[in-house]
Every structure is written in structure tokens, then in C-alpha cells.
């Protein structure tokens, strides 16, 4: 996963206020998330395998999950909640996931010469979770990433890594 600094710089480039970026980063990394985000984790109940009233927090703990971006069902619940309560956070949420995906494939991008735009396109088509109503936010994020590939490359690869 990319660090706070990388996420913050790229979110700033995308015009996302630092308060939103910081909230999303702490939520995604599950490090002291803001109260309303933790309330979502503990109060949002999900139907799972015949069990009702299971919270995201309980499910995350039972799977020893430290990266909520790895599970589609968590992303789906997060996006539904954000769409209903905090639409201004959706773009940053998608951006966080996309940047983590680029970061996780950086060795392949760097070593095999796979272009970052291939990584972006693949994530957008195959890995990005979409909930009805979030498509415009995802489209904005993908457009931003494609239009800023070189700047993002410099942030993720740190000029010294090249």
C-alpha cells in the first residue's frame, strides 16, 4: 500500500481537500478513523451466510483484515454508505484504491515496463467496485489518473527509485 504522503500528494493534485484525504486515509488503513467512519464500521449490519446483524468491524476482525480495499463486499458497503452520507468522499475513496493498486504493481511496472496507464485501465475495468450512482466518481478518478501519469509516477516511484 502507498503511504500517507503519497496518498496526500496525489489527492491534493486531484483537488481533494486535505481534511477529506486524511479522513479517507485513516479509514482505509483503519488507524483511528473519524467517529462517523468507525460508527459505519460498527453499526452497519450485513447479511452474511445466514447470519443477520453482523457488523463490518466484526467481519473485518474475523478475517484479520487490515486492508479493507482487498474485499469487494467491504468496498460495496463503504460506497453505499458514502453515497448516502458523504458523497464528497467517494472520489477520494476510489483514488485511494487506485493509488494502492498502482503502488502494489510498481515492481511489475518498473521491472517489466508495463505502462501505468495499463495498470489504471485494468484496475478500472476489472477491480474497481461500482455501486449504482458512483460511476461518475470513478470516471473522474480514472480520467485524473490518465491525465497525470508522469506526476503520479514521480510520486509513487520517488525519483530516486527510477
What is the chain written as a DSSP string?
Answer: ---HHHHHHHHHHTT--HHHHHHHHHHHHTSS--HHHHHHHHH-EEEETTEEEEEHHHHHHHTT-S-GGG-HHHHHHHHHHHHHH-GGGHHHHHHHHHHHHHHHTHHHHHHH---HHHHHHHIIIII----TT-HHHHHHHHHHHHHTHHHHHHHHHTGGG-
Average predicted confidence (pLDDT) for the chain:
87
pLDDT, one tens digit per residue, over 68-105 is 777 888 899 999 999 999 999 999 999 999 999 999 88
Domain carrying residue 121: 4-161
Give me the number of domains the chain comprises: 1
Using pLDDT thresholds of 50, 70 and 90, give the confidence band for residue 111. Answer: low
Encode pLDDT of 10-27 as tens digits. Answer: 999 999 999 999 999 999
Amino acid at each position: 500500500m502507498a503511504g500517507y504522503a503519497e496518498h496526500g500528494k496525489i489527492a491534493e493534485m486531484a483537488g481533494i481537500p486535505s481534511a477529506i484525504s486524511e479522513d479517507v486515509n485513516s479509514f482505509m488503513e483503519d488507524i483511528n478513523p473519524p467517529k462517523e467512519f468507525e460508527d459505519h464500521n460498527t453499526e452497519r449490519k450485513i447479511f452474511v451466510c445466514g447470519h443477520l446483524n453482523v457488523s463490518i468491524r466484526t467481519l473485518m476482525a474475523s478475517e484479520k483484515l487490515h486492508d479493507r480495499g482487498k474485499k469487494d463486499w467491504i468496498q460495496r458497503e463503504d460506497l453505499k454508505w458514502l453515497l448516502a452520507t458523504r458523497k464528497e468522499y467517494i472520489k477520494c475513496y476510489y483514488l485511494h484504491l487506485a493509488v494502492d493498486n498502482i503502488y502494489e504493481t510498481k515492481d511489475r511496472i518498473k521491472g517489466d515496463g508495463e505502462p501505468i496507464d495499463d495498470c489504471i485501465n485494468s484496475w478500472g475495468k476489472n477491480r474497481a467496485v461500482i455501486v449504482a450512482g458512483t460511476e461518475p466518481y470513478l470516471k473522474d478518478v480514472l480520467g485524473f489518473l490518465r491525465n497525470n501519469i508522469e506526476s503520479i509516477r514521480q510520486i509513487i516511484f520517488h525519483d530516486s527509485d527510477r
